[in-house]
Every structure is written in C-alpha cells, then in structure tokens.
Structure 1
Amino acid sequence: MSIKIVFFDLDGTLVDNTTGKVPASTIQSIQTLHEKGIHVVVATGRSYFFAKSVGEQLGVNNFINCSGAYITLDGTEIYKDPIPTGDWDRLVQISSLRGDHLSCFGIEETFSNGLAAEVALPILNHIDCQVIPSRFPDNEVEYMGMCLFLDRGKIEDYAHVSDDLQFYHWGSEIPNAYNIERKGNNKARAVEQVLQHYQITPDEAMAFGDGGNDIEMLQMVKIGVAMGNARDSLKEKADFVTRTVDDDGIEYALQAFHIL
C-alpha cells in the first residue's frame, strides 16, 4: 500500500493521557516513517505552542493546530484564521460577568481571564497564562481558539455571541468545558489543504485519532485508524481499531498495514 502521509491526533493518540508521555514504540515508528520519506503531520485542537514540544521530540515540523485554524508545514505558516476581534471581545466580557473561566490561545501565548474554576484548575495548572487585557488595543495577539470552562454560567449564555463561532463540548470526562473556534475550521478541511499542498491524494493518506473531532479527519483519508482508547463513536466510523496508546497502538496499526 502506497501511503505518503500520516496524520496523528495528539492527546490520547501520540501522547498517553495518563503519563503525559509519547510511548517509545511511537517515537520509533515516527522515525521509521521519516526514514521512508513519509510525511508526518500532528493534527490537534491544541495551539501551536502546546504541540511544538511533542513535535521537537518526534522530529515533526508539520502541524494542524486549533482543529484547523492554524497550519504550518515544514516550519512555514500556510493558513491562519483567527477568531474575529469583536467576537472574542464579547466572549471576554460575558465570561467575566458570568464568572466563567476563559483561556484564549494565540500562536505562541495563552491569555486567561483569571477566573479558573475547579474544573479548569487540573488542566491549566501547568500553563503560563497572561491576563487578558480589558481592551483590544492593549493586545495585538491573534486568538486562534479559546477554551471556556463554565462555573456559574450556561452555554446558552454564549450561543448568541456570533453566528461565526462553533462550540465543541469536551465530553463527559469534563462536562463543563468547551472549545470555541471559527465555523468551517475542522481537521478534515485542514487535511484537505495539506494534501493539496503536497500534491498527495486522500488514497495515499492515513490518519490516527481518538476523539469526536477526529471523525471527519479519519473519513477524509484512505485508512482511518481509531485508537483502542478512542470513543465508541469514532471506532464505529474508523476503518481499523488498533490497540490503546499505551499498548503500542500506533506501531501495531502501521505494522498491520505493512507501512513499517
């Protein structure tokens, strides 16, 4: 099978969520893909500054960040679609009034309104967040995405902010957390842009994931692989279900399709 590019989700796919580390078998697998001349792309909902340390560990310099709002290939920015100034300004004001935590992700920096509720603390305690300025002219950072952690408010309080935004619920593990991004940006659309950039067809592509926001990406390529620890909704759509991330799942699938 002629696979020329492989896309990998980050959390729960490349990185073991329990240990926070990339398994040794995955590191070796990525190295082998590089040696075979196969492109490797990290496709994540996280911002660039979150993902680049994993990329450095794996020797990967291709990223889809904020679920497609920001794309860099071979270290060069090829796509950027920040949240409009007026939209994030209204989100900042509403979250402050409601007492909800809002984190705003630039390319290299994170800003927070400082209202970390209990649900946000375990996730944000290792993140260096600057305080969101009260007025836009004080802040020249472009926000690629946001995370909202509801404390006193409800998601309905935010739905009217803009028809241009989409809210992604994190799932049952963190019931009050949402990603906020521009409508139209998703991993599948980003994968399509990357394939066009490298002049590779979907039939020459493979993707790995574990979350609900990976479904479209897995369906975009020839071989969509769900991790053994993936949500059932993703496993049902995948072409192949591999082992869990901590049980050498990436290596197992690449060997099963004779790519390694």
Structure 2
Amino acid sequence: MVRAVFFDIDGTLVSFKTHRMPESTRKALEALRGQGMKLFISTGRHELLIDNVDKSLFDGIVSLNGQCVRIGDEVIHTNAMPVEDVRAAVAFVRKHGVATIFEGWISYG
C-alpha cells in the first residue's frame, strides 16, 4: 500500500518552459492528498532555494539529496559531511581552480 509519494521539482512539479507548477499538477497533488497520501518534495536543492513550488501542499521535504529531511516543522534527519572532508574538498578545488558551490544545512537548535 502506497502511503507517501516523493516528487522532484524541475520537470516533474515545475515546467521547464514556465518554471512554474501547472494548475493540473496542483489538482493532481490535491487528489493524492484526498486519497490519504503524504506528499513530499525530494530535491538536490537547499530548501531555501525552493521558490517556485507552493511548499504548503507538501507534508515534508527531503533536501540537499537527503542531507536534510523535514516533516512539517520538524527536522527528523541530517547527514552533513564531516568537517575534515569539507576542508579537504575546499583545498582540492582551490588547488585546481575548480568552480564550486557548497550547500549545507546548519542546525541552530
């Protein structure tokens, strides 16, 4: 029995052409919720960078490729890289001149 459904953003929830979620997608999500499904966003993005989806339609978010999992307002899982690994990655990209973006989740509690 399916109890939860996970959705990527780009090309799944949001059109590549309009960069918005079509009304038909919203209706489909509401229909799933009406069947008792829990709905989740699952993305490589940081949650703060999700700006083209109505997050209130979802029960939770799996962000940063699983580094942070939130249900409602509660963070239930984090899996940050060890500091030593981050330092090694930074040293590598600096040494080799590799353009890089590091994203992460920080706990304030």
SS in 2 for 1:104: coil
Matched, 1:46 2:57: no
Q: Structure 1: 5+ residue runs without aligned partners?
A: 108-140, 143-260
Matched, 1:86 2:78: no
SS in 2 for 1:42: strand
Equivalences for residues 47-66 of structure 1 within 5 A: 47-51=46-50, 54-56=53-55, 59-66=57-64
1:55 and 1:24 map into 2 onto residues whose CA distance is 11
Task: State the Cα RMSD in Å.
Answer: 2.1
Shift of the alpha carbon at 1:18? 2.8
Q: Structure 2: 5+ residue runs without aligned partners?
A: none
CA contact (8 A) 2:64 2:104 kept: no
Equivalences for residues 25-174 of structure 1 within 5 A: 25-51=24-50, 54-56=53-55, 59-107=57-105, 141=106
2:33 and 2:51 map into 1 onto residues whose CA distance is 17
Q: Deviations over 1:87-112 (max 9, x none)?
A: 111211221222211111123xxxxx
Q: Deviations over 1:37-58 (max 9, x none)?
A: 21101111222212365242x5
2:94 and 2:83 map into 1 onto residues whose CA distance is 17
2:52 and 2:77 map into 1 onto residues whose CA distance is 20
> Which amino acid in 2 is paired with 1:80?
T
Q: Which has the larger radius of gyration?
A: 1
Q: Deviations over 1:45-79 (max 9, x none)?
A: 222212365242x5214111122121111221000
What is aligned with 2:5?
Answer: 6
Shift of the alpha carbon at 1:84? 0.9
Hey, which bits of structure 1, 4+ residues long, moved more than 3 A?
A: none
SS in 1 for 2:40: strand
Q: Deviations over 1:167-187 (max 9, x none)?
A: xxxxxxxxxxxxxxxxxxxxx
CA contact (8 A) 1:42 1:55 kept: no
Shift of the alpha carbon at 1:5? 1.8
Q: 1:20 to 1:52 in 2, by over 3 A?
A: closer
TM-score, structure 1 normalization: 0.38
Give aligned-pair identity as a percent. 24
> Which amino acid in 2 is paired with 1:100?
V
TM-score, structure 2 normalization: 0.82
Equivalences for residues 186-225 of structure 1 within 5 A: none
SS in 1 for 2:18: coil
CA contact (8 A) 1:55 1:61 kept: no
> Which amino acid in 2 is paired with 1:17?
F
